[in-house]
Structures are given as structure tokens and as C-alpha cells.
Amino acid sequence: MSNHIHPIASLLAAVGRGISGVQVQWAGCEPDERQRIYFANHTSHLDFVVLWSALPSEIRAKTRPIAAKDYWEATAVRRYLAQNVFHAVFLERGSPAKSKTPDEPHFAGRHLIDEMAAALGTEHSLILFPEGTRGTGEKVGPFRSGLYHLAERRPDVELVPAYLENLNRILPKGEFLPVPMLSLLTFGKPLRIAPEEDKDVFLERARDAVSSLRRIGSS
């Protein structure tokens, strides 16, 4: 994995910023080169590009997205974009029901956590959408457990919540052409997993951390 930014990635980042007119606010922390997992709500294909483009370029070069294997490997273009352009980490997404049950030592998702931990390595950061799929933008859906297991595995990595606002109106699920409205991106205060914290409690806390960053229509 090189830390080189693909020119198409830079181009797409510029286009994404232009279309989304995004206004970025670092409300709970500052941009930093330390290892982080940025986790955000997911409503649009633009989410990743907009979040990624909001990072300073030296951080951007070391930040990789987590991509659902079934979707992003489905066509040659998607695979090229995910793999070669954005150096995505491919993961198979299980059904949410499946990932809710296992606390036994060898649960099915263990190798996924291994892969994400390996992708973090010693210098990389990850962008994760813990809902696992794009929602309608009204509410943040329940989080899958990957974030929890990863946080347990790598307690040294900061967990930074982020809220992407209005992107569901710019490019909603199922649409191909964007409407250039304005959007907001807010980074919140980094979370840490408490010792012995219950999985569901932590995931709910993480979800609240994301949805509390909403700026329009919250007050």
C-alpha cells in the first residue's frame, strides 16, 4: 500500500467538493496525522469522497475507506475506483442479524476485524460507515458491531465521529445525477471505548455521537 494519492482520486475529491459545496467544521477535534477511524452516517455515494476530501492532503494520503466487497467488486469500474484509486479495504458485509449474535470467541466476523486491523497497520487511518448501507438521511440507523470489535482490538486508535448533512438530497440512493445543493460536514469529539464496555452500549454511544453533530433542523 503506497501513500501516493491517485490523480483520479484528487479529481473526484475536487468534483465532490464542488457538487456538494461542503462546509467543513472541526467541532470536536483538529485535523491530525495520528491514526484515526473516522465513522459517519451514510446516505450517499458522495459521502466517502466528501469526507475524504475534507482532510488535509498529507492525512488524506494515509486514509483508506472500508468498502463493501459485494457492491464495490460488482463491476470493473467500481472495482478500479475502490481498489486502485482510493486503496479501499474490501470487506464482506454479513447480515446485520448475524453480526448481532456472536460474542463467542470464534464468531464469523473475526477475520473481518483482522483485515481492518491489518489495514490500519502502524500509520493508516480508516473511514468507516458503521450503518453498513446507505439510509434515507432522516435518522442514523443502528451500527454494526465491526466498530466495536475494531476499537477493542486497537484501543490506541482515535475514533472520530462525523456527520454528513444534506448529501442524501444531493445524490440519494438510486439516483445517478446530482443536484448541487449545499452540505455540511461536522467532525465531533473523539470517542474511546471504556474498559469492559458492553458492545451494545458502546455502539449506541457511538451512534449518538454521530447524530448529535447534526446542525440543520436539530435545534
Site residues, another protein (CB under 8 A): 21, 23, 136, 166, 169, 172, 175, 177-182, 184, 215-216
Q: Least distance from C-beta 216 to another protein, angstroms?
A: 6
> For another protein, which is the closer residue by CB, 175 or 204?
175
Q: Least distance from C-beta 29 to another protein, angstroms?
A: 20
> For another protein, which is the closer residue by CB, 102 or 172?
172
> For another protein, which is the closer residue by CB, 99 or 183?
183
> For another protein, which is the closer residue by CB, 16 or 190?
16
Q: Least distance from C-beta 187 to another protein, angstroms?
A: 16
What is the rounded CA–CA span in Å between residue 151 and residue 192? 8
